[in-house]
Amino acid sequence: MSKKLLLVDVDCGVDDAQALMMALAAPEVEILGITCCHGNTLVDHVCGNVLRVLQVCDRLQIPVYRGASGPLLGEAHSINASHYHGKDGLGDVPDPAAPGLDCLQKEHAVLAMLRIANEYSGQVSLVATGPLTNLALAVNMDPTFPQKIKSLFIMGGNMESRGNTTVCGEFNFACDPEAAYIVLNAFECPTYIATWEFTCQNCLSWAFHKECIHQDTKKAEFMRKIYAHAAEFTERCSDDLGEDWGKGFVSCDSYAMAAAIDESFVTNAMTCAVSVELSGTYTRGMMVLDTIGKLNKKQKASVMTKCDMEKFKRFMMAALK
């Protein structure tokens, strides 16, 4: 059976790292390239973090590309997630033996996206776990780009107007609302979205998380180290971050990756047109769900609501074996 071809766009923090390791462990998946974007940390940190993940998984042959260093509009790095992911994005536990940025491909991430989409037209699924800046730039450079993508899997946005960065904005969309707007309105391929609320409502138990990261492997040791900062923040601040946060372990980006690996992971979804609010005083960056057809959009997205948690656990355990 031919492998599923993935192109993965990340702003590599700890949950992007987990998601990448999940895909790398899936025997039915081939990652054609990893493109890097601003978001959880500076884009150069993101690039270095991806290389660290590939090194611990013995997969440094996968090409990595540097992409956008800031949003389409607005001030670069006005939003970051250092409080959760650490300043470097991977818990501020540097590795002196980590690969250098000279291991990156010379080609820009957006150009690599366009080239790979052309070379494998209709065969590649695109997984986006950070701000959607690279994807939007690719659309602007080549409006036919979305037509060449087989399917799109996004971690981002919200479905109940709950924010984790602004009052109504989820981090990835709030980092670059214009990019999210362009992508949600340009792609007509099957699109699956793992929203912030969905990930919180389908969290894993802390007992399972402990079991997962305490496997006796170098991958599990790596995850224990990079996640310690985020775990401490979650324990310290969960009471201030909303009723869903802190009830269990949430690896947000891993839900979108699990769906890309196996679409049967998604057991229920709300199918509707989606867009992004760009100008609201409190709602800029909020994902809009058109449940009554007012947007008159032909293309509908599958906004995940339920998933196969037993399958998710298997993916998470396999990622760190």
Q: How far apart are the first and last CA of the chain?
A: 24
pLDDT digits (tens, 9 = 90+) for 43-100: 999 999 999 999 999 999 999 999 999 999 977 666 778 888 889 999 999 899 999 9
Alpha-carbon span 116 to 120, nearest angstrom: 6
Enclosing domain of residue 56: 4-319
Question: Quick one: pLDDT at residue 185?
Answer: 96
Burial class (CB in 10 A: 0-12, 13-18, 19+), 270: middle
Number of folded domains that form the chain: 1
Query: Residue 245 — pLDDT band, cuts 50, 70, 90?
Result: low
- Cβ-based neighbour number of residue 260 at 10 Å: 24
Q: What is the DSSP string of 272-318?
A: EEEEE--S-TTTTTPEEEESSSTT--S--EEEEEEE-HHHHHHHHHH
Question: Quick one: pLDDT at residue 230?
Answer: 82
Question: Quick one: pLDDT at residue 117?
Answer: 98
Question: Quick one: pLDDT at residue 158?
Answer: 96
Tokens standing for 131?
Answer: 């701000």
Question: Quick one: pLDDT at residue 244?
Answer: 55
241 has a pLDDT exceeding 80: no
CA atoms within 13 A on the CB side of 125: 24
Average pLDDT, the chain: 94
Question: Quick one: pLDDT at residue 239?
Answer: 55
Mean pLDDT, residues 178-206 taken together: 96
What does DSSP assign to residue 202?
T
Question: In 3D, which of 16, 172, 8, 161 has the Cα closest to residue 79?
Answer: 172
Question: Quick one: pLDDT at residue 22?
Answer: 98
Question: Quick one: pLDDT at residue 231?
Answer: 79
- CATH value at residue 84: 3.90.245.10
Q: What percent of the chain has pLDDT over 70?
A: 95
Tokens standing for 165?
Answer: 């960065």
278 has a pLDDT exceeding 70: yes
Contact 77, 42 (CB under 8 A): yes
